[in-house]
Amino acid sequence: MRQSLRLGHVAGIPVGAHWSTLVIAVLIGAVLAVSVLPQEAPGEEAVRYWLVAAAAAIVFLASLLAHELAHALVARRRGIAVRSITLWLLGGITEFAGEEARTPKDEFRVSVAGPLASLLASGVFFLVALPLRGPAVLVSAVWWLALMNAVLAVFNMLPGAPLDGGRVLHAFLWHRHRDRARADRSVAKAGQALGMTLIAIGGLELILLGWTGGLWLMLVGWFLAGAARSEGLVRIAHRGFQGWRVRDVMTASPEVAPGWQDVEEFVENVALRSRQSVFPVVDFSGRATGVLTMQALAAVPAEVRHGRRVASVSASLPADHVLTPDEDAEHIMRLGTFTGDLVAVVAEDGRVVGMVTTADLARSLQQAILRTGVPRHPHNGQRPLQG
Ligand SMILES: [Zn+2]
């Protein structure tokens, strides 16, 4: 997730916030100031409610951060590199730099750390609130923080991907059956079921009780179900790609466009009869220097094609989109397209030997799903995750 607001580094980890964090901060502040605090501690001036509410909202965001930091710090101790922590509309996200947990035990520890931190925070606020003899509005705010952190801990432990509880369940299933892919499918299904359940509960609250909070629950459920489904697919593809090289995915020996060639000549000899819609552009030594798309060719008026060089209508080729055939195919997954439907150019010893297009990627992903989606025990009725 993109960090629109960089908050700095904590223990060397970049911490930031997505703009949607503002929405949740304002929402929490408003609910506290106009509803929760006036109910718990009536008779105060409005400005005091708002001041305490603003402070409580900020402390609440800090406790969300503490939850994510707990994940991040435990992950780092287990040798998993942490890229960043970002707060957003529905909480926080800790992004890892690459390899996920290597063992079920590591996954369990990293996953359970966040809810434990929230539980700890809840306990601390509880201990602070208990003997607190200040203005009632302040005491109520601390009680609210204790309660919210407890809710955070419990909610995150619900057993479905992508929640922490889903990862804990994944670690347990992985440990028990020694089959990571099977655990992936199970928690993806559990996450989807959980999301649907929350949507149903939220809908019932809204319709039967008239609680607008039901809308929020429906939103969270909808997000959960979607995230569980897409995460499941990504993990399946990820596992399916294991052991694959770039050469297994690429289109080998594609037609290339010599940069020095006349555009008219290239159109007539190659472009008009080629099955490709994008061509790696090469120099005299066969080295990739750019990319030529059909669109770029079409943009050159027919009457000026003659006399223009292919290189002059080609787009540049970013260095990170040049792969070698023996690289791990997973590297492709991290790249987006950059021009036309080209994902990467594959070169060996400086010469173009292949290219990867979105069509190559789509076909390989389907193959990956076919490879991992096959049930191990067809008789037990277990079916691969349905799209
Ligand atoms: Zn968490």
Residue 383 lies in a domain: no
How many A from CA of 213 to the centre of ligand 1? 22
The per-residue pLDDT for 147 is 94
Give the domain range for residue 198: 5-240
Q: Among 40, 44, 45, 68, which one carries the catalytic annotation? A: 68
Are residue 235 and residue 164 in the same domain, yes or no?
Answer: yes
pLDDT tier for residue 243 given thresholds of 50, 70 and 90: confident
Binding residues for Zn(2+), by number, are 67, 71, 164
Query: Between the CA of residue 77 and those of 101, 107, 296, what are the distances in Å?
Result: 11, 12, 50
Candidate from 75-89, 198-212, 247-261, 364-378 with smallest mean pLDDT: 364-378
Give the 3-state secondary structure percentages of the chain, helix then strand then coil, rounded to 5: 60, 15, 25
Ion ligand 1 contact residues with beta carbon within 5 A: 114, 156, 164
- Looking at the structure of the chain, the number of domains it has is 2
Q: What is the CATH number of the domain that holds 272?
A: 3.10.580.10
In 10 A of CB 340, how many CB atoms? 19
How many A from CA of 319 to the centre of ligand 1? 35
Q: Is 361 exposed, middle or buried (0-12, 13-18, 19+ CB in 10 A)?
A: buried
pLDDT tier for residue 1 given thresholds of 50, 70 and 90: low
Cα(350)–Cα(287) distance, integer angstroms: 5
* CA atoms within 13 Å, Cβ hemisphere of 2: 3
How many A from CA of 130 to the centre of ligand 1? 27
User: Which residue from 329, 383, 320 is spatially nearest to 361, judged by alpha carbons?
Assistant: 329
- Is the pLDDT confidence value at 325 over 50? yes
How many A from CA of 170 to the centre of ligand 1? 14
Cα(111)–Cα(98) distance, integer angstroms: 16
Q: How, if at all, do strands 5-10 and 13-17 pair?
A: antiparallel
How many A from CA of 124 to the centre of ligand 1? 19
For the segment 199-211, the average pLDDT, to the nearest whole number, is 89
Are residue 362 and residue 339 in the same domain, yes or no?
Answer: yes
Give the start-end residues of each E strand in the chain.
5-10, 13-17, 82-88, 91-96, 251-252, 257-258, 278-282, 288-293, 315-316, 322-323, 342-348, 351-357
User: Which residue from 122, 21, 60 is spatially nearest to 52, judged by alpha carbons?
Assistant: 60
Are residue 220 and residue 114 in the same domain, yes or no?
Answer: yes
pLDDT tier for residue 373 given thresholds of 50, 70 and 90: low
Are residue 126 and residue 198 in the same domain, yes or no?
Answer: yes
Of 243 and 139, the one with more pLDDT: 139
40 carries an active-site annotation:
no
pLDDT tier for residue 286 given thresholds of 50, 70 and 90: confident
Are residue 157 and residue 172 in the same domain, yes or no?
Answer: yes
% of the chain exceeding 90 in pLDDT:
39
The SS3 call for residue 334 is coil
Are residue 63 and residue 155 in the same domain, yes or no?
Answer: yes
The per-residue pLDDT for 380 is 38
Cα(331)–Cα(250) distance, integer angstroms: 12
pLDDT tier for residue 181 given thresholds of 50, 70 and 90: confident
pTM: 0.68
The per-residue pLDDT for 372 is 62
What would the two tokens of residue 281 be?
């552009």
The per-residue pLDDT for 46 is 85
Are residue 38 and residue 187 in the same domain, yes or no?
Answer: yes
The per-residue pLDDT for 259 is 92
Average pLDDT, the chain: 85
- Is the pLDDT confidence value at 268 over 80? yes
pLDDT tens, position by position, 80-121: 888 888 888 777 888 777 667 889 999 999 999 999 999 999
How many A from CA of 21 to the centre of ligand 1? 16
Cα(267)–Cα(306) distance, integer angstroms: 10
Residue 158 lies in a domain: yes
Residue 351 lies in a domain: yes
Are residue 199 and residue 347 in the same domain, yes or no?
Answer: no
Binding residues, by number, are 67, 71, 164
How many A from CA of 110 to the centre of ligand 1? 9
What would the two tokens of residue 129 be?
């609130």
Residue 91 lies in a domain: yes
How many A from CA of 68 to the centre of ligand 1? 6
pLDDT tens, position by position, 13-44: 888 888 888 888 898 899 888 888 888 888 88
Name residue 92's beta-bridge partners: 87
